[in-house]
Chains A and B, each alone.
Chain A
């Protein structure tokens, strides 16, 4: 077997260009999907059946059917409803919908992991629902959510390759076009794989950074927080009340 990575080198700029499209697909659909997931998760936890049931049904259907099918569905079936979409917006819609379904369950798990007693303690000092969510639930939920959320993000990033089937010129489609005209499949696929690996490694690094950032009890307090809390000032001598 004769390998010629010179070809891959020649096409590297094109592959890198295409990976920008992959990044755009991933980041945009991940952000939209996460924002939607937050509300789907809240609806899914609602005591009101008219909010909870549709959220459950949505998660059930979208998680239970392939993303590849969603992509085809949005791209090819939408015109039947009088909507014609370009490949890129069609892919964003399908991928966001998928991310929303998976992330909704991850976010719900995080929100529900905060013990009810802690919420009661917060209500007992007079906090409102919004304050409880902001000050007590979310800071703890974020920490719990990071590993499964980032795991899912990595998978979502790789799944962006499926958008190639509806002709979004992302990394995978570009690679296919290059090797079908150069017949250098091994070289091109190797380089393409390496690019995916770099992208997902960035996400892994982000996950580690996030976990370190939220490991509050191991991280110490930091200068700003110490100063705000006046921890290094001498104890006040005034009476307690």
Chain B
């Protein structure tokens, strides 16, 4: 479903990604772990071309993202590809001038051209699914972090994406709000969604991931099942990282 080949991304002199290759099968849940600055976010942002890779290839559902040969694809083509890739951000990025329901249906209405009534019915069902039936007409500023992130997940799901990217979805939440977001993500995973999740939640990775990828300094150091990564880490750096996060 997602193929990443020799992806390189430089920010000036910094090599954020240094030759990353990864393939994610349909329905698979892959968790990206690693220290801050290891390239997790950059990898996700390159997959939907929010960052333009310095070199390398990204394919989603067989279609190359952002480029065709050496040329950049048209803005229209890129937008169409992005609509099939859901993204959830660390800081939610809900649109503050719209109520929760409008946030969820905005893409349906503007991108897919769906009527507001039809979109609203769909949006309400999605908000019900993420447990926010009573928050539909609330503006984001009156929602807690956990509620905002659940709206953001519903917003991404509304577009019926083929894959979902989660960029540290619980890292800016108060500890007591983390669980409600992880539960929703677990439910999405159980319905067969292809997911790539950059996270510091090792419990979630262990429980939900099919595979765990350890990134360090822009490179993939180790890939394996949660049992392999957490039970029998081979790399010294991974062992040190796990020692620190699994106290």
Chain A interface (Cβ < 8 Å from any Cβ of B): 115, 117-118, 120-129, 131, 135-136, 139-140, 143, 216-217, 221, 226, 228-231, 235-236, 238-241
- The contact sample of 8 A-B pairs, CB cut-off 8 A, is A115-B93, A121-B152, A124-B50, A125-B159, A127-B110, A140-B96, A231-B120, A235-B124
Q: Contacts A121-B95, A228-B120, A229-B101: A238 and B89 contacting too (C-beta < 8 A)?
A: no
Contact A126–B120 (Cβ < 8 Å) = no
Name which of B13-21, B57-65, B131-139, B229-237 contacts chain A.
B131-139
Q: Residues of A contacting B80 with CB < 8 Å?
A: 126
**Cβ-based interface call for B5 (8 A):** no
Of chain B, the residue at the smallest CB distance from A117 is: B93
> A-B pairs with the 3 shortest C-beta distances?
A126-B83, A125-B107, A121-B93
Minimum C-beta distance from B142 to chain A (A)? 7
CB-defined contacts of B82 to chain A, threshold 8 Å: 123-126
Judged by DSSP, the binding face of B is: helix
Point out the residues of chain B lying under 8 angstroms from A235, CB to CB.
Answer: 124-125, 128, 133
Residues on A with beta carbons closer than 8 Å to the beta carbon of B117: 228-230
CB of B200 within 8 Å of the partner chain: no
Interface of A is mostly: helix
Q: In which size bucket is the chain B interface?
A: 35 or more
Q: Which of B50, B125, B136, B137 contacts A238 (CB 8 A)?
A: B125
B50 partner residues in chain A, CB cutoff 8 A: 120, 123-124
Known: A125-B156, A126-B83. A131 touches B110 (CB 8 A): yes
Whether the Cβ atoms of B155 and A140 lie closer than 8 Å is no
Q: A126-B111, A135-B110 are in contact. Are A121 and B120 (CB under 8 A)?
A: no
